[in-house]
Amino acid sequence: MSVSVLGIRHHGPGSARSLRDELERLRPDIVLIEGPPEADGLVELAKDPGLEPPVALLAYVPGEPSKAAFWPFAVFSPEWQAIRHAVEAGVPVRFCDLPAAHSLASRPEEEPGEGRAPDTAPEDAGPEDGRPADRRGPAGHAPGTEPPEGEGPQAGMPAVRTDPIGTLARAAGYDDPERWWEDVVEHRGDTPFRVIAEAMAAVRDGHVADAYEARREAFMRRTIRRAVKDGFERIAVVCGAWHVPALAGTAEEGAGWGAGLPTVKADDELLRGLPKVKAEMTWVPWTYGRLAAWSGYGAGVTSPGWYHHLFASADRPVERWLTAAAGVLREEDLPVSSAHVIEAVRLTQSLAVLRGRPLAGLAEVTEAVRAVLCEGDDLPVELIQRRMVVGERLGHVPDATPMVPLQRHLREEQRRLRLKPEALDREHDLDLRRPLDLERSRLLHRLRLLGVDWGTPQESRSKGTFRESWTLAWRPEFDVDLIEAGAWGTTVPAAAAARVRDLADGGQPAGPTSQGAAGQGPAGPVPGAPGGRAAAPAGPSLAGLTGLVERCLLADLPDALPYVLDALSARAALDSDVTHLMAALPAMVRAQRYGDVRGTPATGLAAIVDALLTRVCVGLGGAVTGLDDDAARDLLRHIDGVQAAVALLDGASGAGSPQTRWLAALRGACGRSDLHGLIEGRLTRILLDAGDLDADQVGPRMSRAMSAGHPPARAAAWIEGFLSGGGLLLVHDARLLALIDGWLTGLAPETFVDVLPLLRRTFGAFAAPERRSIGSRVRSLVTGAVPGAEGVAELDEERAAAAVRTVLMILGKAEAE
C-alpha cells in the first residue's frame, strides 16, 4: 500500500501539467482531492462533454440558500485535471476536505484559538478554503504574497501565519512571490513533488495550526485512513502544497504512511461536536472574470486567460500569445503586421534574459505588446488585458446537473428564446412588435422582479415605445439568486407573480444579492426573501405600488396585477399627501399605455388613473401655497410629471376630459396671490403653451411679476419657472423678450449682482442654438429692429443693393441694364 501526497498550487497550469504526468506514472486506484465530500456524487458528471470549465461546485443550505460557498475550477486547475484523469481511467474519486455541512454552519474566524484573520489565508489554501461565501474577509492582496500592512488579524487575534510562497520567494532572492512561482514551477513544469513537499516542510517547521486549519487537516487524514481501510493499494492525494507535511508525515521512506502524524484519537477529538447543517451541492457555470476577481484569497488568479494559454500551449507559448494579441488588435482595425509580432517576440526574449528568467512571463509579454504592437498606447493594451489576460470565457453545465426547478425552467426558456448566457456584455435591441422579442423582454423583466439582473435596461436609440435596449451579462451569483427565488415558484412567471404579491403586501424590493468579500456570493439573507425576511414595513409607498404596477405589466403578469391594483386603491384612499398622488400618477399613466403597446390587458387602470387625477386637481390649490425654495422646486418637478402624463391620456376634449380638468386646476392655482414665483411662472407657461392664455394675457402678468413691488429674487424665480420649458418662446415673441430686457436693464447694479446667478442658471439650461438666437434678438432690440423697441436704425442702401439684386435675379425679375 502506498499513499502519494501531491502538493499543488490551485489554478496553476504548471502544477496541473505536472500532476497529470505524475498521475499517469503512479496509476492510482483511488484519487482523493481537497474539496467538500458532498461533491462525491457529482464527479461522474465530468464524463459529460457538456460540463465545460470554468465551472464551480456550489454548496448551499436549503431554505437558506444565501449561505453558500463556491469551489471554482478552470481547465488549468490541478483538481480538475485530477478529476478528468480519474473518470477517464475509471478509478473512484473522493473529496477529502472538511464537509460543507460543517463549514456553512460555523464562522471559522470566530472560533477560539483561530490563528489568522479570514483575509490572510495562504496562497495554497483550498478552493475558497471550503469557507462559506458570506464568511470571508476582503481579498486585497495578490495571491502568494503577504497581506498588505493593515490587513492583519483583528484586535485580540493571534499573529498571522507565514505565507509559504512569499517565504520561499524571499529565500530565493525574489521580491515578487508570483514571479518566483512562475519561474520555478509554471514555466518549467518539471519540479518534483518531493521537492515541493520538502520546501513546505521547512516553511511549516514550528508552525501551530489554528482551530479551523487543524480540523480541515484532521478530516483529510480521516479520509485517507478510510481509503486505506477500504483496501485501496495506490492512493493519490491532491491538496494544496501547504497541507502536504500535515498529510504525508515526516517519517523516512519505508516507515509506511501515518508515521509522524497525529493519532486517530487526536483527530477524532478535534472533529467531535462540530456544528452541522443540511447542505446541498451542485455544479454551476463560472467565468474567468469572476475567477480573476477572487485573486488574493487563494482561489483566484489575476490572469486566468494567460494561465489557460500556458496550459493549452506548452509549445512556444510566447509566440502564440503575441500572434493571438495581434489578431485581437486587427479585429479592431488597428494596423499590426507580422513584423510587429516578430519584434515583440525578440523584445520579450531580451527582457527575460536581462531579468534572469527561464521564460518570458506575463510582465515581459505585456511590455512588448505595449511598446511594439500598441506603439505605447495604453488603450489597446487594456483591450488585450480584458479579452486575453483575464478572458471572457463562461463555463457550461449539462442538463443532468442537479438544479432547482426554477433554474431548469430558466434554462429551457433561454433555449426557447435563443438567449445564450455569456460572460461578456452583449447588447440586444428588442422590437416588441415581434413575438420573439416580446417574449424575451417579458423574461428579462420577470427575472429583474426576482432579483436576477441578467439584463440591464438601456436607453433605447429609438423614439418609439415599441423598442427596448438591454445589456446582458451572466454572473455566477445568479445561480444562488435563482436557488433563493425558487421558494416563490417552480417557473419564472409563477415565481415572479408570487414575488409581486409579496411586494404589494410590504416585502422589500427585489434586487441583486449583496456580494461577499470578493464579490463572490451572497453575504446574508436578502430582506423580504424566504428564509431571511426582515421585519416588514408598514406598507409600500403609493409611488412604489404604481411602479410595481408598471413592472407587472412589463413582465406580463396578469394573475398578479389585480392584487397590486387592489393594494394601490386601498393605499390611494388613505394617502392625503397631494405630492404622493402626483408622484404616483405618471407611472400609472405609463402602465396604462403599456397595456396598449404590449397587448397586455390593463383592466382597472383607467379608473384608478381617473381617481388619482381627480384628487390631484382638488388638492393642488392647497399644495402650492406656503412653499420655500426647496419645496417649490420639488413641487415643480411633480407638476411637470403630471403635465407630461396628462398629455399621454386619451380622451375627448370636452369638459370632463383629463386635459380640461387639469388645466382648470392649474388656472385656479395660478390666480392665487401667495404663490412662489417659481410655481406661478411655470403655471403661466403651461397655460400659455396649452392655449388657455394668449400672449396678450401673459404680457401683463409678466409685467406685474417684474414690477418694483416684488423683490428681484422673486422676479428672477418667476422668469425661471416661466422659461423652464425652453427658450424658443423668447425667440418668437418679441414683446415678452422686450419685457424681460427692460426689467433686467432697469435693475440697480447691486440688485443685478444678486439675481445674476438665478438668471444664469435659467438661461444656461437652454440649448446653444436657443441662446444664440436669443442673443441675436437682444441685439435687434438695441437697434430698434423689433416692434416695441426704441429707435429704428438707418438703412444702409449701398450694402442692401447687392442683396436686392440677388433676390431679383432668383425671382427672374432682374433689372434691365
Where among 242, 263, 293 does a domain terminate?
A: 293
**Beta strands 2-8; 93-95: pairing state:** unpaired
Looking at the structure, tell me whether residues 219 and 102 fall in a common domain: yes
Looking at the structure, tell me whether residues 381 and 472 fall in a common domain: no
Task: Determine the average pLDDT of the residues in 301-322.
Answer: 88
Where among 234, 260, 293 does a domain terminate?
A: 293
Residues 441, 432: contact at Cβ < 8 Å? yes
Which grid cell sits at 37? 465530500
Looking at the structure, tell me whether residues 110 and 144 fall in a common domain: yes
Question: Could you count the other beta carbons within 10 Å of the beta carbon of residue 392?
Answer: 15
Where among 488, 504, 520 does a domain terminate?
A: 504
Mean pLDDT of the chain: 78
Looking at the structure, tell me whether residues 241 and 362 fall in a common domain: no
DSSP string covering 256-295: -TTTTSPPHHHHHHHHTT------EEEEEE-BHHHHHHTB
- Greater pLDDT, 382 or 250: 382
Query: What are 259-288's pLDDT values in tens digits?
Result: 788 899 999 999 999 999 999 999 999 988
pTM: 0.67
What is the enclosing helix (H) or strand (E) of 801? helix 797-810
Residues 514, 526: contact at Cβ < 8 Å? yes
Q: Which of 132, 134, 118, 129 is nearest to 69 (CA)?
A: 132
Query: What are 421-432's pLDDT values in tens digits?
Result: 988 888 999 988
Contacts of 29 (CB under 8 A, 6+ apart): 91, 232, 233, 234, 235
- Residue 633 included in any domain: no
- Residue 259 included in any domain: yes
Looking at the structure, tell me whether residues 381 and 487 fall in a common domain: no
pLDDT of 202 > 80? The answer is yes
Looking at the structure, tell me whether residues 456 and 479 fall in a common domain: yes
Which grid cell sits at 83? 478529476
Secondary structure E strands in 82-131: 93-95
Total of domains in the chain:
4
Looking at the structure, tell me whether residues 246 and 327 fall in a common domain: no
Question: Could you count the other beta carbons within 10 Å of the beta carbon of residue 806?
Answer: 11
Q: How far is 687 from 695, CA to CA, in rounded Å?
A: 11
For the ranges 133-142, 374-383, 750-759, which has the lowest average pLDDT? 133-142
Note the helical H segments in 204-282: 211-229, 244-248, 264-271
- Residue 126 included in any domain: yes
**Is the bond leading into 54 cis (omega within 30 degrees of zero)?**
yes
- Residue 310 included in any domain: no
Q: How far is 295 from 554, CA to CA, in rounded Å?
A: 39
What is the reported pLDDT for 740?
Answer: 78
The CB-side HSE value for 657 (13 A sphere, CA atoms) comes to 13
What is the reported pLDDT for 520?
Answer: 33
Task: List C-alpha distances in Å: 308 to 53, 388, 615.
Answer: 11, 10, 65
- Residue 706 included in any domain: yes
Q: Which of 350, 353, 325, 352 is nearest to 338 (CA)?
A: 325
Q: How far is 470 from 454, CA to CA, in rounded Å?
A: 10
Helix axes 13-26, 78-89, angle to 10 degrees: 30
- Greater pLDDT, 493 or 674: 493
Write out the residue range of the structural domain in which residue 344 sits. 315-391
- Greater pLDDT, 655 or 111: 655
- Greater pLDDT, 155 or 452: 452
Looking at the structure, tell me whether residues 363 and 282 fall in a common domain: no
Query: What are 438-495's pLDDT values in tens digits?
Result: 999 999 999 999 999 999 998 866 656 678 899 999 988 898 889 888 888 999 999 9
Question: Could you count the other beta carbons within 10 Å of the beta carbon of residue 554?
Answer: 22
| Count, residues in the chain | 817
> Helix or strand or coil: residue 50?
coil
